[in-house]
Amino acid sequence: MDMGGILSLREIVFREEERDKLDPRFWRWEFIENPDGRASIYIVEDQRKIIAHFADIPRRFSVGGEAVLGTLSLDLMVHPDYWRKGIFQAMGKYAIQRVKNDNCFFMSSYPIRRETINGFKKIGWRKMVKLPVVVYPINFSGVINRYLRFQPLSLLIGGVARFFYFLLHGLKRKKRTGEAEIEKVDLLDDAFNGFWQKASTLYPILGIRDQNYLNWRYLRHPTRTYSIYRAKISGEMKGYIILRKVKLLNFDSTVIVDLLALDEATLIGLVEKGIEHSRAERTDLLGFMVPLDHLYYKILRRMGFLPSLKTFLFMVYPHSGKEILLSPEKWYVNWGDTDVI
C-alpha cells in the first residue's frame, strides 16, 4: 500500500485539519496495528497517482450481549481536480459490498462535511443519532476574554458570570454519594477486563472496551496523550474516565474522550474528577459528546454542563436485518469511538 501517496492526498484534501494524521506512525497505528484487525483501504488511481481514498477499520461491538464485528468508515478523500465525477458514490458502493463480503454486521461513521453526509444518504446510509457537545465552564474569564480581548474587564465579567452560574447550577448540583476511590492509572491491568464483563450489558449497543482495545486506543497512540482515571470500591473497578487536552470551540479545553461507569454515583464521581483535572490543566472548558437521549447527557446537564452550538452526527449502514441496529436509543457512542480525539 502506498502510504506516502495516501498521506500526500490527505494533506491536499484536509489541509490544516488534524496534522498529526500525516505522521506515518499514526497511519500504521490506525490502519495496521488495530487489535480488531487491519483496515480495508480502497483507492482510486490516475496515471499511478492516488486521487481518491476510503477506509474501513474493523471494530468489535457488543450488540444485545453478542460480540459482533462492524467497521468505522473514515477518511473519504477525493482530490479537488476529480470532484463531481461520481468517484464518491462508486467508492462508497464498493466499500459497502466489500464489508458485506467480510460478514460484518454494519458500518458506522461520524461524517462532518455536508457533502459527505448527503453522499452517504444517497447510497443507503442511515442517520442514526445526533451527538451534541455539552461543556462545563472551568474558566469564565478565559472564555469571555477570547471575545473582549481586555483582561481586566474579562476578569470582572467572568466573576459575575461565575456567581450567577453558581446560583443557577451550583446549588442544585448533585454531589457524589458513592464511596469510590478514584485513581489515575498509567497501566491498564486485568481489572479492566473484569470491569468490561459487567459494563458490556449496560447498553444494547456498545463498542467493546476491553483491556487490549483500550491499551491500543489510548496508551499505544503514537501522537496523542490521554489521562486515565478509574473508580474502585473495595478493590473492585466500577468505572473509568479518559481525558485529553485539545482545542474545542476555539478554546483551550479538556474533553472527556470516553466515560463508562456501573452506577450513577460512580459516574458523577468520575466527572467531578474530570472537572478537577481540567482546573489543574488550567483549561477553559470541559466538553463531552454523547447522544441527546442518553442517560449520561441528562446526568451531566444536572451537574451543570451546558449545551453548545457544536453537534456531530452518527450514521450507520446495516448489513444485518436486526432491528436493534436502526434504533437510535439503543446506541452509546462518544468521542472514543471515533479517531477524531
Residue 187 has pLDDT above 70, yes or no: yes
Q: Which three cell numbers stand for residue 329?
A: 436509543
Band (pLDDT 50/70/90 cuts) for residue 15 is: confident
Q: What percent of the chain has pLDDT over 90?
A: 79
Segment holding 181, helix H or strand E? strand 181-185
Residue 152 has pLDDT above 80, yes or no: no
Dist CA 309 CA 134 (whole Å): 9
Asked which of 166-175, 253-262, 268-277, 318-327 is least confident by mean pLDDT, the reply is 166-175
In this prediction, residue 108 carries a pLDDT of 97
Question: In the predicted model, is pLDDT for residue 160 greater than 50?
Answer: no
- For residue 331, the model assigns a pLDDT of 96
pLDDT tier, 150 (very low <50, low <70, confident <90, very high otherwise)? very low
- The stretch 44-72 carries a mean pLDDT of 95
Q: Which amino acid makes up residue 83?
A: W
* pTM over the 0.95 mark: no
Label residue 169 by pLDDT band (50, 70, 90).
low
pLDDT at position 51 over 80: yes
Q: What is the pLDDT of residue 221?
A: 97
CA 301 to chain centroid: 19
Q: Look-up: residue for cell 443519532? A: 129
Residue 135 pLDDT more than 80?
yes
pLDDT at 333: 97
Task: Examine the pLDDT at 181 and tell me if it is beyond 90.
Answer: yes
Amino acid at 115: E
Residue type, 21: K
**Average pLDDT for 238-248:** 95
Determine the average pLDDT of the residues in 86-90: 94
pLDDT at 114 over 70: yes
d(CA 48, CA 184): 49
pLDDT in tens, 277-317: 999 999 999 999 999 999 999 999 999 999 998 999 999 99
Tell me if 277 sits within 8 A of 185, measured CB to CB. Answer: no
**pLDDT-derived band at 175, boundaries 50, 70, 90:** low
50 has a pLDDT exceeding 90: yes
Fill in the DSSP letter of residue 211: H
Cα–Cα distance for residue pair 49/302, rounded to 1 Å? 53
Three cell numbers, residue 261: 461507569
* DSSP states along 41-73: EEEEEETTEEEEEEEEEEEEEEETTEEEEEEEE
Give the three cell numbers for residue 29: 497505528
State which amino acid sits at residue 64. Answer: G
Band of residue 1 on the pLDDT scale cut at 50, 70, 90: confident
215: Cβ–Cβ under 8 A, 6 or more apart, which residues? 188
Residue 229 has pLDDT above 70, yes or no: yes
Sign of CA dihedral 199, 205, 206, 210: positive
What's the rounded mean pLDDT across residues 250-268? 95
Average pLDDT taken over every residue of the chain: 89
Does the pLDDT value for residue 174 go beyond 70? no
| Percent of the chain residues topping a pLDDT of 70 | 89
What domains, with CATH codes, occur in the chain?
3-124 (3.40.630.30), 133-312 (3.40.630.30)
Give all strands (DSSP E) within 102-169, no chain letters: 106-109, 126-137
pLDDT value at 162 more than 70: no
Q: Does the structure show a pLDDT above 60 at 109?
A: yes
d(C-alpha 42, C-alpha 57), whole Å: 12
